Amino acid sequence: MRNQAFLFAAICLMSMPALARDVAVRSGEHEAFTRLVFYLKPADKFEISKTKEGYLLSLSPDVTGYNLSRAFDLIGRTRVRTLTPTKSGALDIQKGCDCHIKELRLSTGELVLDIVDGPDPNNIPSTTSRFFPVPRTMNVDQQRATLPLLNAAADQSEMIDNQDKPSGASAAEDSGTASETPQLDKQELLSQLSRAASQGLIDANINPPDILRNADPADTTEPTLETQLIPHSPEHQVRMQTAVEQARADHFGGGEPASTSQPCLPDQQFDIARWGVYTSEVNAPVFESSDFLGEFDRPDMDRLVSHIRQKIYMTFGLEALQLMENYGDDMGDGAVLRMMAEVVEFGEAKSHADWDSQLICNTRGAMWAALAQPTIEDKINTKAILRSFSELPPHLRSHLAPILARKFLNSGRVGTAVEIRNIATRSALAPSGAASVLDADIDIAEGKVEKGEQRLTDMIQEDHSQTQPAILALIKSKLQNDRGISDHELTLLASVAFEHKESRAGDELRQLHIRALFHMGRFAQAFELLDNPPNGSVQAKHLDDAGSYLVSLGSDAEFLIYLLTRTDWGTTSAEVRLMMAERLRTLGFPEHARRLVLSGDDTPSRTAREFLAEVALAQDKPKVALGYLTGLTSDNASSLRKIALDKSINPDGNSLPSSPANNPSDVWHKLNNSDHPIPAEVQKILSLETSPFMGDSQTRLQTYQGILDGSSETRTALNELLNMFPSIDGAR
């Protein structure tokens, strides 16, 4: 008996169908369209075809049902009259207006269907003929085309005898025969055919035949219907938001327009204020996992999503992330919920780059996108962010205000940070320690440095629970404003950094400790911490700080020891390398200075090229200096180029311009002040030669040779001049 029971159970289990799933359907009402959202998997396929009363949506075979419990919660029945699942697994969407459909498939799998007012601009024909009568002659393919099972392949034709019957006995006989013919139930027949096709008993792999228009005797053309599927082309797609909550935006004074190149997510996906309100059994509090787990431990997605939203509402982000990690594979709003959970738990989101397009939207998504960013960039919709923040419940305003305000504070938007702080203060909740630290940071940003630092110092002494954020803000302020750090503050910072070394704030505290040591000129301790990082790699920004402080605070011995004994200075920025190279050259190490400037992977800047030219001149390499100065037009570059040209002409340093005896102005002065008269011919020659020393030696010799060979008067004048002033010839 027991064996029979086991056998019966095994047979029952084997006969059970494969695990199927239902698709949740949500909706939203807009001014010009009604939106339906189907939460599908990214791998699911869909097909939309037109019917007489609307559209037919067909999904993947494993989708056997639709969860329509909330489909009409937010919409009326003016555009979408009914949503009816068919026996074949499709969904019949019946219209209630003169509308057409537009679809959008999201990267996360959701299918968005918008029922838009107005006729279809694409003029897609229906699957059933609404305007043409059934033809009097039909073949087998044409008959099968009227059934929901598309396609049977056969070439045979069957004539339907629809000729008028004669009156009288023949008519009576025909009527009697018709009355004896059993009437088939069309719906039952269609059901049977559908079941047969699903089991592979009917071949349905050919295209539907053309249905001919009732031909006119004079018309021999046979028009055919076009394809019945709605085309999927980019120009037919719609954005997720064209004018979301326009009335709401007007009520709050409007704002910047939403992005026209990226879709803006609707406000309903970020309506966290309603997630803590329990309105039904589905939305009731969940105390045990069995409350949202069903048969085979399969979660009820509606209850699971509601439970995760409640966790986020209560700022339990880590718990919400754990639930999504375990059960959230098929969750429709998984990406949104994961981002919001990370924000309330960590203050930013790992997927922050995916939300950049929402920053300029006029929706609640702009605020959450800003919260997800590590730093806020320039293009944001500040009005939408402030409006959405003011809509939050008091406890969420108090929790998120320090996070959001600090992001604006770090980007230099002090006024926006103050406004966020004031909105949170009006929540009538006691300020948290994070809010007090934010107040001090705002004072410092507004120029009240001493007041802000004193507030932080008092907080460290009075509220030990806020020691970590307070000492962090205090040391940052002193480094930014170049103020002194006491030994007590440095010791406290080192202790807090050691206590939090395994937490998320540990790395930031350790980096701040290194910067504080450099700021105080304690290079040995700073380099010891710098060279022994937990992750095994020295960060370039720490070396930048080290180089800057070595140049400004280090003694000559410290500067040379740490600069010449390290080989990783090439990872620093070009500006820091140039600062260090200038001090190296001053200390008498021009070659080391040149190597330091060229040790990076970047191309030398104009300032660096001028510095390299100065180093080359100091090393008696004028041609190298001219190469560095090529294309530079600054005053310093022109001066260096002139010096390099002079040195290239006279490598020994005895160039004509530097010899007082050979200076033309000095010779002219001696001639004018001499006791002998100057012949007119000599004055003429001297006045014509304005710059006899320009150009190289070869050019000057050619010029003088031409003058001597081309004019006898010149030769005579020169001989007379040499006879009158033998001292000039002797000096030469």
pLDDT of residue 391: 86
The residues with which 94 forms a beta bridge, in sequence order, are: 54, 82
Instruction: Categorize the per-residue pLDDT at 548 as very low, low, confident or very high, splitting at 50, 70 and 90.
Output: confident
User: Does 606 share its domain with 698?
Assistant: no
- Coil, helix or strand at residue 671: helix
Cα distance between residue 75 and residue 28, in whole Å: 6
Q: What is the pLDDT of residues 607-652, one digit of tens each?
A: 889 899 989 888 888 888 888 888 888 888 888 888 888 888 776 5
Do the bridges between strand 63-67 and strand 21-29 make them parallel or antiparallel, or are there none, so unpaired?
parallel
User: Does 548 share its domain with 651?
Assistant: yes
pLDDT of residue 501: 76
User: Does 683 share its domain with 607?
Assistant: no
User: Does 727 share its domain with 622?
Assistant: no
CA proximity to 303, closest of 273, 325, 321, 323: 323
Lowest average pLDDT, out of 26-35, 160-169, 572-581, goes to 160-169
Backbone phi, then psi, for 212, in 5-degree steps? -85, 150
Q: Which two tokens stand for residue 324?
A: 């999504």
DSSP assignment string, 256-318: SPPPSSSPPPPGGGG-GGGTT---SSTTS---SGGGTB-GGG-B-HHHHHHHHHHHHHTT-HH
Task: Note whether residue 550 is domain-resident.
Answer: yes
> Is it the case that residue 87 has pLDDT exceeding 70?
yes
Do the bridges between strand 33-38 and strand 21-29 make them parallel or antiparallel, or are there none, so unpaired?
antiparallel
User: Does 652 share its domain with 550?
Assistant: yes
- Coil, helix or strand at residue 91: strand
User: Does 547 share its domain with 647?
Assistant: yes
Task: Note whether residue 432 is domain-resident.
Answer: no
Residue whose pair of structure tokens reads 């021999």 in the numeric block: 220
Q: How many residues does the structure list for the chain?
A: 732
Residues whose CB falls within 8 Å of the CB of residue 270, separated by 6 or more in sequence, listed in order: 336, 340, 363, 364, 365, 367, 368, 388
pLDDT of residue 544: 84
Positive or negative CA dihedral for 531, 534, 536, 542? negative
Task: Note whether residue 558 is domain-resident.
Answer: yes
Number of domains in the chain: 3
What does the angle CA 110 – CA 112 – CA 113 come to, to the nearest 5 degrees? 150
Positive or negative CA dihedral for 534, 537, 543, 545? negative
User: Does 683 share its domain with 651?
Assistant: no
- Position 262, amino acid: Q
pLDDT of residue 93: 92
Cα Dmax for the chain: 161
Between residues 459 and 582, the one the model is more confident about: 582
Task: Note whether residue 647 is domain-resident.
Answer: yes
> Is it the case that residue 157 has pLDDT exceeding 70?
no
User: Does 607 share its domain with 699?
Assistant: no
Task: Note whether residue 326 is domain-resident.
Answer: no
371 and 401 in contact (C-beta within 8 Å)? no
Mean pLDDT, residues 70-83 = 87
Domain harbouring 34, CATH code = 2.60.40.3500
What does the angle CA 625 – CA 626 – CA 628 come to, to the nearest 5 degrees? 65
Backbone phi, then psi, for 589, in 5-degree steps? -125, 70
DSSP assignment string, 542-598: HHHHHHHHHHHH--HHHHHHHHHS-S-GGGS-HHHHHHHHHHHHHTT-HHHHHHHHT
pLDDT of residue 670: 57
pLDDT of residue 648: 80
Classify residue 648 by burial, with Cβ atoms within 10 Å: 0-12, 13-18, 19+.
middle
Instruction: Categorize the per-residue pLDDT at 148 as very low, low, confident or very high, splitting at 50, 70 and 90.
Output: very low
Q: Which two tokens stand for residue 328?
A: 């959230």
Q: Which of 126-140, 160-174, 201-215, 264-278 has the highest mean pLDDT?
A: 264-278
pLDDT of residue 237: 41
Q: What is the pLDDT of residues 296-343, one digit of tens each?
A: 567 777 778 888 888 888 888 888 888 888 876 667 778 889 999 999
Task: Note whether residue 65 is domain-resident.
Answer: yes
Between residues 554 and 294, the one the model is more confident about: 554
Taking all residues of the chain, what is their mean pLDDT, rounded to a whole number?
A: 72
Between residues 165 and 641, the one the model is more confident about: 641
Task: Note whether residue 131 is domain-resident.
Answer: no
Question: Of the candidates 631, 656, 681, which is a domain's last residue?
Answer: 656
User: Does 662 share its domain with 577?
Assistant: no
Helix (H) or strand (E) holding 82: strand 80-85
Positive or negative CA dihedral for 720, 726, 727, 729? positive
- Coil, helix or strand at residue 615: helix
Q: What is the pLDDT of residues 514-532, one digit of tens each?
A: 888 888 888 888 888 888 7
> Is it the case that residue 256 has pLDDT exceeding 50?
no
Classify residue 545 by burial, with Cβ atoms within 10 Å: 0-12, 13-18, 19+.
buried
Between residues 31 and 699, the one the model is more confident about: 31
Cα distance between residue 50 and residue 99, in whole Å: 12
User: Does 569 share its domain with 650?
Assistant: yes
Q: DSSP state, 229? A: B
Question: Of the candidates 86, 117, 148, which is a domain's last residue?
Answer: 117
Mean pLDDT, residues 144-164 = 42
pLDDT of residue 465: 72
Residues whose CB falls within 8 Å of the CB of residue 665, separated by 6 or more in sequence, listed in order: none
Question: Of the candidates 84, 117, 150, which is a domain's last residue?
Answer: 117
pLDDT of residue 126: 45
Q: Which of 42-51, 262-271, 641-650 has the highest mean pLDDT?
A: 42-51
User: Does 642 share its domain with 699?
Assistant: no
Q: Which two tokens stand for residue 20?
A: 């199927």
pLDDT of residue 674: 56
Between residues 262 and 153, the one the model is more confident about: 262
> Is it the case that residue 379 has pLDDT exceeding 50?
yes
Task: Note whether residue 453 is domain-resident.
Answer: no
Domain harbouring 613, CATH code = 1.25.40
Cα distance between residue 581 and residue 92, in whole Å: 77
User: Does 571 share its domain with 663?
Assistant: no
Backbone phi, then psi, for 81, in 5-degree steps? -80, -50
> Is it the case that residue 574 has pLDDT exceeding 80?
yes
Q: What is the pLDDT of residues 220-253, one digit of tens each?
A: 444 444 444 444 434 334 434 333 343 344 444 3
> In 100-185, which residue ranges form alpha helices assigned H by DSSP?
140-145, 169-180
Q: Which two tokens stand for residue 338?
A: 């994961």
> Is it the case that residue 271 has pLDDT exceeding 80?
yes
Between residues 406 and 504, the one the model is more confident about: 406
622 and 616 in contact (C-beta within 8 Å)? yes
Cα distance between residue 594 and residue 335, in whole Å: 52
pLDDT of residue 690: 43
Task: Please give the residue range of the domain that contains residue 85.
Answer: 21-117
